[in-house]
């Protein structure tokens, strides 16, 4: 993990307001590693299902608007997918889904511990503070534990080039399998 910046002042206030106004869903995209988080995806969404079993799908979803889109472009140029997570953002040891490139950029709102594990370093714990922007290798085993409430994280990712032709451009996020109407 590498700290690449920090969002401060009015920008941080604006980002908090934007995130807190989102209708995050507990069911739109499920991860067995993070059973209690609530999410909303922008740009391209993965259903996080098995590629090897033929269940993996990519969908075009909402544009996050100019401000967040350009924030993402500064942090991870030409990003494809933004996942905003809230609720209980506890996520257990995992590597990110095979749809995604390894290097991602995460903006942390609130406080959390982020852990990663590899053969050379063993297990390393990082303290994520409010507004911190980090570049992460999501193919290393990693997990996170929130230590403030609320806590959100926004992760910008690239889709691997070989999957780009398979994005379903017609499906809205609301038609993702598994969603329930509990709004």
Kindly state whether residue 116 participates in binding Fe ion, applying the rule CB under 5 A. Answer: no
Q: How far is the CB of 80 from Fe ion (least distance, A)?
A: 16
Angle at 9 between CA 151 and CA 18, to 5 degrees: 50
Q: How far apart, in Å, do the first and last CA atoms of the chain sit?
A: 36
Closer residue to Fe ion, CB minimum distance, 6 or 143? 143
The owner of tokens 């967040």 is: 68
Interface stretch with Fe ion, choices 3-11, 34-42, 90-98, 123-131 (CB under 5 A)? 90-98
Name which of 69 and 94 has its Cβ closer to Fe ion.
94
Nearest residue to Fe ion, by Cβ distance, number only = 96
Residue in 64, 96, 151, 167 binding Fe ion, rule: CB under 5 A: 96
Cis peptide before 150 (omega within 30 of 0): yes
Helix (H, G, I), strand (E, B) or coil at 67: helix
Rg (CA), the chain: 15
> Cβ 42 to Fe ion, closest distance in Å?
17
Residue number with CB closer to Fe ion (96 or 101): 96
Q: How many residues bind Fe ion (CB under 5 A)?
A: 1
Q: How far is the CB of 44 from Fe ion (least distance, A)?
A: 16
Smaller CB distance to Fe ion: residue 50 or 70? 50
Neighbours of 147 (CB within 10 A): 12
CA distances from 74 to 5, 19, 79, 96, 129 (A): 11, 18, 10, 22, 20
- Measured from the CB atom, the residue of 57 and 157 that comes closer to Fe ion is 157
Residues that bind Fe ion (CB under 5 A): 96
């Amino acid at each position: 993990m590498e700290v690449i910046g920090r969002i401060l002042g009015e920008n941080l206030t604006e980002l908090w307001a934007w995130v807190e106004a989102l209708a995050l869903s507990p069911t739109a995209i499920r991860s067995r590693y993070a059973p209690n988080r609530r999410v909303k995806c922008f740009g391209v969404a993965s259903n996080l299902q098995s590629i090897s079993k033929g269940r993996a799908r990519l969908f075009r979803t909402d544009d996050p608007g100019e401000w967040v889109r350009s924030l993402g472009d500064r942090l991870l140029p030409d990003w494809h997918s933004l996942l905003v997570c809230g609720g209980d953002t506890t996520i257990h040891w995992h590597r990110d889904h095979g749809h995604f490139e390894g290097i991602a950029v995460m903006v942390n709102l609130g406080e959390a511990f982020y852990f990663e594990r590899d053969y050379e370093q063993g297990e390393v714990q990082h303290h994520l503070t409010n507004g911190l922007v980090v570049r992460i290798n999501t193919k290393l085993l990693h997990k996170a534990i929130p230590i403030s409430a609320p806590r959100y994280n926004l992760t910008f990712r690239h889709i691997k080039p070989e999957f780009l032709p398979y994005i379903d451009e017609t499906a809205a996020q609301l038609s993702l399998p598994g969603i329930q109407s509990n709004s």
